[in-house]
Structure 1
């Protein structure tokens, strides 16, 4: 899958860290819409329980924004904060501080946190553990539970055992679960759409299901958008963050690659990438 996506994206078409000021960003591969956005924006890919990498990348983004002299800038996080890595509780605590606390002094003017499919699996477990627990546990939920010090569960647990674990999880993770329930599936600024798993290229964002944007559809990669929207997405792991055909990939498999990536977007410049 990684090799396929890399070939699809043209082998990692990443711009230099400084971008290309003074040029009109174009998507390539049959997509020729300009990139226009209301303020400089950084979008961080899938964190998956790597609080250490998140903290490091936030520092790099902050330094980059100050070095470029931005008076106002935006931070977007692309979902999949939990599972697989060992620090999901720490990631959600940090995210809750950012979203509810408004960031940090000298930081972004706006913070937008999106929901990913792993957050949806976690919420499904909390709401219906006997029905949804097995799927979540097999896809990294065990690591998330361990990060909250909720033990005594195995990937084969079912029925009453899952109900009991879900109750203990809700007791310690209540504020984080409440925050995650409020996260939107997508956001749009100018000609840039942000959605965890991309979006159906044959429908405007407001007319497609949120499930499409959190779980994805295969035609996202095969059909160019005709509405002029660039799409920033995670969900699909690539070897190196990059862009092609108006699609901007930022998930570099942080939980095993030890590389968390972000894209910097501003009107009239090529997308530029930062890593932890």
Structure 2
């Protein structure tokens, strides 16, 4: 795990001025909070909620996806997020992440999508719902279908419907919240679901030229950061204990983080 995180932490973005792109200031219509990948850490979700409530309780909140997998409390995380009233003011928006997509793909196509999901944190999600892992390291189709039925029953129709309804983007002014990335050569309204959920090869290398900022999770960084038209908020909470939130205003971006004194 440390090797994987080190690889992500060593990534460097090119400076926008060296690429001939003028970095526009953040201009949200209203100040808001964006919270990075929770990944089954209900304890950190409660902690960041307390920090946000103490600092900016009247701001809209956007969760950037990846609520499940890797951590052991996926069920509790989903229940906490679902308990927020849909008509709450200020609103709370929960975007879809690629791990929600993998879970839904497993429910829809267990034999085809199951192995990938299990390799990428699905085992922890099963445990969070009280479901024992498959007996074999590489379970066959029958075992995967049985797992699918047990997980579907444990989750229930309301939770599954809630996951399916998660939007892919949220925006305010020139700031867009997405899970993973955006193609810098395409307008934000024309991004594909695959790019928004899984990333894009040019996203971390090429700043946008249209003055739009992208707030995202998915890619682990050592510290949350705002530069080159991107605000990165995923600090690997499930492994580091540091769940981060970006406070986006017209004055710039500031950050809150769990696990800090």
- TM-score, structure 1 as length reference: 0.85
Deviations 1:103-149 (A, max 9, x none): xxxxx511111000000000000011011100000000010011000
- For the 8 Å contact 1:28–1:246, the answer to whether it is kept is no
1:265 aligns with 2:248: yes
Out of 102, 115, 135, the position equivalent to 1:134 is: 115
- For the 8 Å contact 1:133–1:158, the answer to whether it is kept is no
How many residues in Structure 1 have an aligned counterpart in Structure 2? 250
1:231 aligns with 2:214: yes
SS at match of 1:236: coil
Structure 2 segments unaligned to the other structure (5+ residues): none
SS at match of 2:234: coil
- For the 8 Å contact 1:47–1:81, the answer to whether it is kept is yes
- For the 8 Å contact 1:187–1:194, the answer to whether it is kept is yes
1:122 aligns with 2:108: no
CA distance in 2, matches of 1:275, 1:28: 29
1:156 aligns with 2:138: yes
The corresponding residue for 1:8 is 12
Shift of 1:9: 4.5
- For the 8 Å contact 1:50–1:91, the answer to whether it is kept is yes
Distance 1:242 1:9, change over 3 A: farther
- For the 8 Å contact 2:126–2:133, the answer to whether it is kept is no
In the TM superposition, 1:1-276 aligns within 5 A as: 2-3=6-7, 5-9=9-13, 30-66=21-57, 72-98=58-84, 100=86, 102=88, 109-154=90-135, 155-174=137-156, 175-267=158-250, 269-276=251-258
Distance 1:130 1:258, change over 3 A: same
CA distance in 1, matches of 2:39, 2:166: 16
Distance 1:216 1:188, change over 3 A: same
SS at match of 1:43: strand
- For the 8 Å contact 2:62–2:92, the answer to whether it is kept is yes
Q: Greater RCO between the two (CA within 8 Å, min separation 6)?
A: 1
Structure 1 segments unaligned to the other structure (5+ residues): 11-26, 67-71, 103-107
Shift of 1:3: 4.8
- For the 8 Å contact 1:192–1:229, the answer to whether it is kept is yes
- For the 8 Å contact 1:99–1:113, the answer to whether it is kept is no
Distance 1:101 1:144, change over 3 A: farther
- For the 8 Å contact 1:196–1:213, the answer to whether it is kept is yes
Shift of 1:99: 5.2
RMSD: 1.9
CA distance in 2, matches of 1:28, 1:63: 37
- TM-score, structure 2 as length reference: 0.90
SS at match of 2:101: helix
Deviations 1:145-196 (A, max 9, x none): 1100011425411201110110111011122221010001111110001110
Distance 1:117 1:7, change over 3 A: closer
